[in-house]
Amino acid sequence: TAQGSPPQFDLPKRAPPYQKILKNFAEVRRVLGVDRKLTLAEKILYSHLANVEDSLLSNTQNGQNIRGNASLKLKPDRVAMQDASAQMALLQFMSCGLPTTAVPASIHCDHMIVGEKGADKDVPESIKGNKEVYDFLESAAQKYGIEFWPPGAGIIHQAVLENYAAPGLMMLGTDSHTPNAGGLGAIAIGVGGADAVDALVDAPWELKAPKILGVRLEGELSGWASPKDIILSLVGQLTVRGGTGFIIEYYGPGVQTLSCTGMATACNMGAEVGATTSLFPFTPHHIPYLKSTGRSSIAKAAKTIVESKAVDNILQADQGAAYDQEITINLSKLEPHINGPFTPDFSVPLSKFKEQVQANNWPETFGAGLIGSCTNSSYEDMTRSESLVKQAKAAGLKPKADFFVTPGSEQIRATLARDDTLNTFSEAGATVLANACGPCIGQWKRTDGIKKGETNAILSSYNRNFPGRNDGNPKTMNFLASPELVTAMSYSGSMTFNPMTDSIPTSSGEPFRFSPPAGKELPAQGFESGNTAYLPTPPIPDSSVQVKIDPESDRLALLEPFDAFPQSELSNLRVLYKVKGQCTTDTISAAGPWLKYKGHLPNISENTLIGAVNAATGEVNTAYDMDNASMAIPELASKWKAAGQPWLVVAEHNYGEGSAREHAALQPRYLGGRIILAKSFARIHETNLKKQGVVPLTFANEADYDKIDARDEVTTEGLYETLTSGGKGDVTIKVKKHGSGEEFSVKTKHTFSPDQASFILAGSALNLLAKKHAQ
Ligand code: F3S
């Protein structure tokens, strides 16, 4: 711990507020005692608490069992938003009436660019197709002082790594792979728009203190094994749910051997196990990365924090800190892995992949190899892949599969162009796509004749491979691997080809075998900044700017505030729908083509619950009105809304599992939903409901689920009193059966905190904020 007076840091605007973080951390030490050994994740998280003592002692035995119990009220340092999710986040922010964001923020236009013919043609096309959304985002950014990265500038996570991420930073991002920034020692958490708004308006963002999973790395990578293989093998061990409620913290001697961008790749894909985030400690590899991306002063400050006796080391774990769970990976023995299809946790070591292809009847060939994306487009990734392309070229070979390269940012693209790497790819026949998500998020116009519904395989260096994610074809099997492996295998086009052991015939008759890839961690001449048109707008708020929303638009609509809770019980509600089985956020608010309407609540609400199974009939998206007329769920909800008939939904376990998508809470609320009565909730969705003013209740006795049906009439008892007394009290539901008129009561449980009770009373969290701001 610290001795002496702390040094002062002279830092640029985008740097973490180290002085403040260190001061808060001193308070953490005071509350927990100087001898308490803390993991790195705990150090960074706890030093971002709004009120250290309150949070660390909440729900714990005097601060002893914080992880898994305490409710942390956090004040992140910054927010990043991608263009699809930024729309609703900004619309919500705007409804609070603040002149500027409380913390620095950035918007990145990356998700809406279709990859087809290459960057030069695809970017202008996308600007044409999405102009009104880009205009809205840019004008809002100018008004509120948010840095706006225009379409073509790069993918959010790459731009964040190059510009904002830094050791000790805590940030929120409205995208699942925000943890990418953990490669540079930051705590970066993927959230929904409503959570981002908390940070933007300076309201504390709540998180149940995560448990910490320690991943000890030993040895050193060599040959074909790459940082991607660390996470591909870890996802296989943990499965897609294994990281839920955990932060993955890497430690051990192997950590010191990895490049900064390699660590980012491992953190990026930690999202695939459901982890809250992943992170690495500050290592010597961070220094050259920070320097080469123009941030020498941050490198110097981080070094001072780690080495100085005068300040506490918040950038590395305490020696001997304990983890809730531990896994060891020996990098020296790590084999390349290939994961998939359809789920990222089906992880197969390369040496066993051929067997698996045959045993599972997977296609023998694959049509496309795609490298790059937010996960794997670093200088190291690309130059290692380039080395393979050069070897193949010398042997007179061309890729057999279509080959696509997605640079993660303009900075990396321009640098690779200068160093001839992109030219090497292009000469080999690769298509260099825009600096954007493209095929990774379904924005891919395939031109190889594969029809929808046709089984086929592709290989990518991306992070997700759910059905339909890349080309909209649910039968496309996407296998995930390192960019090096994707590149080498593209030359054979065969799924059973192992570049470590197999050779490819050449026209000279000489069989060709790849040597292991070799690349450079960072460009010897530094990074190029590239096209200056892609630089962000400066973060200076300008209140004179009018935010651009066309009143006729079908993609954007200003949010109307929701009505406040009545000063009484909720009465005469009707059960709109009784859901059977799983009900994820996708079931409640489907993605795919609906993503287009993310900024238009009335339009996107037309997908509300369309995936839900009717408990009485087994039908999907089929609801029945009081006169037995059947119709789609959103249709009935709209009809009841228009008639002033408030409603509730009855559901089973884990209602709202999946993503943090706030639309799944906003839409039912918009259509007149007041209560969700379920056997249990997914935690994040339950919070989202309260933020939007919907009351989540659970059955005290699960068997009561069977007693209540669609169209029954419901009145609450004790709800108003519970809300007005800060969440203390019991809530009973009085049910009157449709048809028989029989009446009975159902006991329920709730989890309202005093803050959440006020959100509901105000009509929504934003209403409350707007009210406070107006006072
Ligand atoms: Fe974009 Fe795919 Fe990453 S959608 S943010 S490139 S995971």
pLDDT tens for each residue of 475-498 = 999 999 999 999 999 999 999 999
* Section 316-330 average pLDDT: 97
Distance of CA 34 from the midpoint of ligand 1 (Å): 41
Enter the ipTM.
0.98
pLDDT of residue 12: 84
pLDDT of residue 430: 97
Q: How far apart are CA 678 and CA 651, in angstroms?
A: 4
pTM recorded for the entire structure: 0.92
Q: Is the CB–ligand 1 distance for residue 269 below 6 Å?
A: no
Please give the C-alpha separations between residue 81 and each of 175, 267, 399, in angstroms, as whole numbers.
7, 18, 36
Q: How far apart are CA 711 and CA 736, in angstroms?
A: 9
Total Cβ atoms within 10 A of residue 630: 13
Active site residue 67: no
* Section 338-352 average pLDDT: 96
Nearest-CA neighbor of 279 among 19, 18, 44?
A: 44
Q: Name the residue of 108, 155, 412 whose CB sits within 8 Å of the most ligand 1 atoms, as the mutation to test its pocket.
A: 155
* Section 49-62 average pLDDT: 92
CB 80 within 8 A of CB 108: yes
Atom of ligand 1 nearest to the CA of 373: 6
Annotated catalytic residue: which of 83, 122, 175, 419?
175
Q: Is the CB–ligand 1 distance for residue 436 below 6 Å?
A: no
Annotated catalytic residue: which of 659, 680, 758, 764?
659
pLDDT of residue 1: 62
Q: How far apart are CA 299 and CA 650, in angstroms?
A: 53
pLDDT tens for each residue of 96-151 = 889 999 999 999 999 989 888 888 999 999 999 999 999 999 999 999 999 999 99
Does the pLDDT of residue 2 top 90, yes or no? no
Task: Name the residue with the closest Cα to ligand 1, atom 3.
Answer: 374
Does the pLDDT of residue 6 top 70, yes or no? no
Q: Is the CB–ligand 1 distance for residue 370 below 6 Å?
A: no
Q: How far apart are CA 674 and CA 723, in angstroms?
A: 14
Nearest-CA neighbor of 577 among 681, 683, 655?
A: 655
Amino acid at 58: S
Peptide bond into 341 cis (omega under 30): yes
Q: Name the residue of 437, 443, 469, 478 whose CB sits within 8 Å of the most ligand 1 atoms, as the mutation to test its pocket.
A: 437
Active site residue 464: yes
Please give the C-alpha separations between residue 728 and each of 60, 170, 701, 719, 767, in angstroms, as whole numbers.
20, 33, 20, 10, 22
pLDDT of residue 309: 86
Task: Name the residue with the closest Cα to ligand 1, atom 2.
Answer: 440
pLDDT of residue 157: 98
* Section 299-325 average pLDDT: 95
pLDDT tens for each residue of 756-766 = 999 999 999 99
Distance of CA 326 from the midpoint of ligand 1 (Å): 29
Distance of CA 291 from the midpoint of ligand 1 (Å): 26
Nearest-CA neighbor of 412 among 320, 527, 311?
A: 527
Total Cβ atoms within 10 A of residue 416: 26
Residue with tokens 């329920």: 748
Does the pLDDT of residue 13 top 90, yes or no? no
Annotated catalytic residue: which of 29, 78, 111, 285?
111
pLDDT of residue 682: 84
Q: What's the mean pLDDT when you consider all of the chain? A: 95
Atom of ligand 1 nearest to the CA of 406: 6
pLDDT of residue 149: 97
Confidence of residue 240 (pLDDT cuts 50, 70, 90): confident
Q: What percent of the chain has pLDDT over 70?
A: 99
Q: What are phi and psi of 373, to 5 degrees?
A: 80, -175
Q: Report the CATH fold assignment for 573-774.
A: Aconitase; domain 4 (3.20.19)
Active site residue 661: yes
Total Cβ atoms within 10 A of residue 289: 25
pLDDT tens for each residue of 513-551 = 999 999 999 999 999 999 999 999 889 999 999 999 999
pLDDT tens for each residue of 503-516 = 999 999 999 999 99
pLDDT of residue 3: 65
736 strand-pairing partners: 713, 743
Spell out the CATH class of 337-498.
Answer: alpha beta
Amino acid at 718: G
pLDDT of residue 348: 98
Q: Report the CATH fold assignment for 74-333.
A: Aconitase; domain 3 (3.30.499)
Q: Name the residue of 228, 265, 374 whose CB sits within 8 Å of the most ligand 1 atoms, as the mutation to test its pocket.
A: 374
Q: Name the residue of 85, 113, 157 whose CB sits within 8 Å of the most ligand 1 atoms, as the mutation to test its pocket.
A: 157
Total Cβ atoms within 10 A of residue 729: 16
pLDDT of residue 628: 97
Does the pLDDT of residue 581 top 90, yes or no? yes
Q: Is the CB–ligand 1 distance for residue 80 below 6 Å?
A: no
CB 614 within 8 A of CB 633: no
Q: Hey, which of 8-12, 55-59, 539-543 has the most confident mean pLDDT? A: 539-543
- Element spanning 761, H or E: helix 754-762
* Section 296-303 average pLDDT: 96
Burial string for 308-330 (b: 16+ CB within 10 Å, else e) reads eeebbbbbbbbeebebeeebebe
* Section 401-405 average pLDDT: 97
Provide the angle, in degrees to the nearest 10, between the axes of the packed helices 260-268 and 156-163: 140
Q: Where in the chain is the domain with CATH 3.30.499.10?
A: 74-333, 337-498
Active site residue 659: yes
Does the pLDDT of residue 576 top 70, yes or no? yes
Nearest-CA neighbor of 134 among 537, 409, 414, 529?
A: 537
Q: How far apart are CA 444 and CA 439, in angstroms?
A: 4
Task: Name the residue with the closest Cα to ligand 1, atom 1.
Answer: 437
Confidence of residue 595 (pLDDT cuts 50, 70, 90): confident
Active site residue 106: no
pLDDT of residue 310: 84
